[in-house]
Amino acid sequence: MKIEWQGVMPAMTTCFDANSKVDLDFMARHCRWLVDNGCAGIIALGSLGEGATLEFDEKLAILKACVRAVGDRAPVVAGVSALSTAEAVRLAKAAAECGCHGLMVLPPYVYASGDWREMKAHVAAIIEATTLPCMLYNNPIAYGTDFLPEQIRELAEEHENLQAVKESSADVRRVTAIRALVGDRLRIFVGVDDVIVEGVNAGAVGWVAGLANALPRESVALFNYAKDGERDKAFELYRWFLPLLRMDTVPKFVQLIKLVQQEVGMGNARVRPPRLELVGEELAGALATIRAALEARPAALL
* Plot region of 196 (φ>0 → left; ψ -120 to 50 → alpha; else → beta): alpha
d(CA 13, CA 15): 6
Q: Catalytic residue at 109?
A: no
CA count, 13 A, side-chain hemisphere, 175: 24
Binding residues for pyruvate: 208
Among residues 59, 137, 143, 225, the one annotated as catalytic is 137
Phi, psi of 123 (to 5 degrees): -70, -35
Binding residues: 208
Cis status of the peptide bond prior to 75, with omega within 30 of 0? no
Q: How far apart are the first and last CA of the chain?
A: 29
Listing DSSP states for 5-74 in one string gives --EEEEB----B-TTS-B-HHHHHHHHHHHHHTT---EEESSTTTTGGGS-HHHHHHHHHHHHHHHTTSS
Among residues 59, 64, 143, 166, the one annotated as catalytic is 166
Q: Catalytic residue at 64?
A: no
Closest C-alpha to 192, from 169, 222, 162, 215? 169
Catalytic positions are: 137, 166
